[in-house]
Amino acid sequence: MVATAFLKGMGLGGGLIVAIGSQNAYLLRQALKREYVLACIAICVLCDVLLIGAGVAGMGALIMQAPAILLLVKFAGTAFLGWYGWRAARSALQPASLQSAAGAVASDRRTVLTAMLAFSVLNPHVYLDTVVLLGSIGGQQGATGRWWFAAGAMLASLLWFTTLGLGARYLQPVFARPRAWQVLDALIALVMGSLALSLWF
């Protein structure tokens, strides 16, 4: 029972987290630039742990009864995703590479971490996935099983974000070419734009 709940949480949590989204895209970009990678990973994992725990504890049901909360997050998320998508699209028109980026002034720590936090909490899909979906399924696992389910989902989050953040260095030879950065920024712009639109359609 306990093992089943744990594996179920790990499988479902992993499936939801691995899906391409704004949070993963931003973490990948910072990992390739090697800027505050560990701090970004910590923010992603901590946010997931808190949201999964809140969902399993029963917050998912409360959010479903207060749609105004999700509506506010939807407006904020649309504005933020649209703004960052526009920035990524503009960057796609300006070729860069890891070599040229290395000689440039590093991004401000506060700016990077604030953006990482925003990508982690300003997307309503995050709440629907972690708090509502995982929370409702976890709640069906019984008094003890629900927390093992949550632990499995949290472990999946830790493994995924750590692998993505620390494993990106193996892609550095690819991103030594300016064209690779253009493609990545163009894809990020498409992801951000599609996510902003998907909040309403």
pLDDT tens digits, residue range 59-102?
766 666 767 776 776 787 788 778 878 988 887 787 655 444 44
Whose tokens are 């409360």? That residue is 62
- The pTM assigned to this predicted structure is 0.78
Task: Give the number of other Cβ atoms within 10 Å of residue 155's Cβ.
Answer: 17
Counting the structural domains of the chain, the total is: 1
Higher local confidence (pLDDT), 120 or 22: 120
Angle at the Cα of 61 (from 55 to 66), degrees rounded to 5? 115
177: DSSP letter: S
Q: Which helix (H) or strand (E) holds 8?
A: helix 2-18
Domain that includes residue 11, residue range: 2-198
